[in-house]
Amino acid sequence: MQLNSWGMYPQIKSKKFTFNTKDNLKNILKENSTLIPFGNGRSYGDSALAENIIYSKPYNYFLNFDEELGILHCQSGVMLSEIIEVFVPRGWFLKVTPGTKLITIGGAIASDVHGKNHHVEGCFSSCVEEFNLMLPNGEIKNVKKDDELFLATCGGMGLTGVILDAKISLKKINSKYINQTTIKTKNLKETFEAFEKYSHMPYSVAWIDCLASGEDIGKCLLMVGDFADDGKLDFKEKNKINIPFNFPSFALNSLSVKAFNWLYYKKAPDGESQQKVDIDTFFYPLDAINNWNRIYGKGGFTQYQFILPKEKSYEGLEKILETIASSGKGSFLAVLKLYGKANENYLSFPMEGYSLALDFKIEPGLFELLDRLDEIVLEYDGRIYLTKDVRVSKETFEKGYPYIEKFRSLRKEYGMDKKFNSLQSIRVGI
C-alpha cells in the first residue's frame, strides 16, 4: 500500500499489519522487522512511516473508568475524539490535549503531546498513570511513572515498542463552553507582554502574523480562556466542511497568505474582547474541516515547530520572524504558545519558553529556508519537534535533545533498535 503522513510528504510503499489480540501482535513482531506503530496518521512528518507499519487504531476498547478518581483505562487505538464524545456529557475532559482530537491514545503518548495549557498541566505524560508496552520479543511490561521505559516511551516516537493500553487521568468540568478573551497586539513586544499578563489563565494560544515586518513584526491575536461553569454538557459532534480535492499548487502563495493574514487580523476588535465558545471551536478549530491538508496541493506540506528557552525567546523569535518575512514563504497557520518547565522524558519536546509552529507548502527553496531557521534555533539553544518534522538533520536533532544517548542505550539494551525503526529514526540516527 501507498502510505503518507498528514503532511502528504513523503510517500512510501508500506505493508500494513493489523492486530486485535496480543497474540496477533506477538506473531507480527516475531515475523517482521523494521516496524513502527501507526495510529490515525496525523503525524505531520515521517515519524510513523516505515516499510512495515503496525496499525493500532482497531485496538480501541474502553476497559474501565473510575468515576471517583477520573481515571480511564483504555486500549491504545482509542481516539481522543471518542473520549470526548463519551465523557464530556458526564462532566469529564482531557487534562492535556493537542490541537486535534483525531489522534489515538498510543500516538498521544508516543509524541508526548502538549496543548494550550502546558504552562499549567505539562505534557500528556503528566496525566498518564501507567501503560502496558509490548517489547520486541513479545514480552509485555507494565510501565509506571518514573520507570526508565516510561521516560523513554513518552515522547519516544513509537521506537520502544507497541503501547497496548493505558490508564489516564481526566479533568472534571462543568461546561462544554470556554470563556475566551481575545487580545489583539501590535507587535512582538506587546505579544510577550500579553502572554505574561495572562500567564495565570489555564489555556492560552496565539495566532501570529508571520509575514508582518518592520514595526508590525510579531503582531498577533492571543486567545486565553477557562471552562465556564454553566452546567451545559450536551456535547455533540458538529457537521464538518469537506475539502474534496487537492488545491492547485499556485493557490497558496505569498500574496494569498498575506491577504488571509490581513483579513484574519483585521476582523478582530482592537484591544480585548470576550467570547463564549465551545470545546471544538477553542481546542480543535481545524478538525471541523475534513481533509484540510489538501489545501496545500498534492505536493504536500510540512509543519515546522521549534521551541526556545524563555530567556532567549524574544530575541530568537524576532530573528526567525524577520527571516521568514524576508523569504516570502509565510504560513497562515502560525501558532505561538507559552510553555512551562520541561519534564524528564528523554525525547519530550517542551521546555520552559515559547514555541512557534508554522505550516509550509512543500516547494523549491523551502528546505533551504528551514535549514536557516534551524541555525537560529540552535543559536538560541532551542530544539525541533519530532512529531512535526520531516527533514531535520542528525546534527541539529542531537544538539536539541541532551538525553539522546540515554535513549539510544535503552534501545540497544532491549533490542528495540533492531525491530522498531521509522524513516525519521533512520534519518536522525536514533
Q: What is the CATH number of the domain that holds 154?
A: 3.30.465.10
Confidence at residue 254, expressed as pLDDT on a 0 to 100 scale:
78
- Per-state percent for the chain, helix, strand, coil, to nearest 5: 35, 25, 40
Please, which residues bridge with residue 308 across strands?
Answer: 354
Q: Give pLDDT < 50 ranges for the chain.
A: none
Confidence at residue 3, expressed as pLDDT on a 0 to 100 scale:
96
**Whether 226 and 372 share a structural domain:** yes
Confidence at residue 257, expressed as pLDDT on a 0 to 100 scale:
86
**Whether 149 and 221 share a structural domain:** no
Confidence at residue 415, expressed as pLDDT on a 0 to 100 scale:
98
E runs forming strands in 121-161? 128-134, 140-144
Q: Which amino acid is at 161?
A: G
Instruction: Write the CA distances from 329 to 98, 357, 364, integer angstroms.
Output: 25, 14, 11
Long-range contact pairs involving 405-412 (C-beta distance under 8 Å, separation at least 24): 406/152, 406/346, 407/152, 407/156, 407/346, 407/347, 410/148, 410/149, 410/152, 410/160, 410/346, 411/152, 411/159, 411/160
Inside any domain, residue 13: no
Close Cβ partners of 245 (under 8 Å, ≥ 6 residues apart)? 294
Inside any domain, residue 381: yes
Confidence at residue 258, expressed as pLDDT on a 0 to 100 scale:
85
Contact predicate 336/378, CB 8 Å = no
Confidence at residue 155, expressed as pLDDT on a 0 to 100 scale:
98
Tell me which residue range forms the domain holding 150. 65-174
Q: Please state, in angstroms and rounded to a whole number, the distance separating the CA atoms of residues 306 and 308.
A: 7
Dmax of the chain from CA atoms?
A: 62
**Whether 196 and 336 share a structural domain:** yes
**Whether 108 and 210 share a structural domain:** no
* CATH number of residue 263's parent domain: 3.30.70.2520
Report the predicted TM-score, pTM, of the whole model to 2 decimal places.
0.97
**Whether 190 and 337 share a structural domain:** yes
Helical packing angle, 188-197 and 310-327, nearest 10° = 140
Close Cβ partners of 379 (under 8 Å, ≥ 6 residues apart)? 316
Number of domains in the chain: 2
Helical packing angle, 310-327 and 366-379, nearest 10° = 160
Cis peptide before 269 (omega within 30 of 0): no
Name the region of 356 (left: φ>0; alpha: ψ -120 to 50; beta: rest). Answer: beta
Confidence at residue 332, expressed as pLDDT on a 0 to 100 scale:
78
pLDDT in tens, 38-83: 999 999 999 999 999 999 999 999 999 999 999 999 999 999 999 9
Inside any domain, residue 144: yes
Q: Please state, in angstroms and rounded to a whole number, the distance separating the CA atoms of residues 237 and 181.
A: 24
**Whether 168 and 250 share a structural domain:** no
- Grid cell of 3 as nine digits: 502510505
Contact predicate 36/49, CB 8 Å = yes
Q: How many residues does this entry show for the chain? A: 430
DSSP class per residue in 90-107: GTEEESS--S-S-SBHHH
As a whole number of Å, the end-to-end CA separation of the chain is: 26
**Whether 189 and 311 share a structural domain:** yes
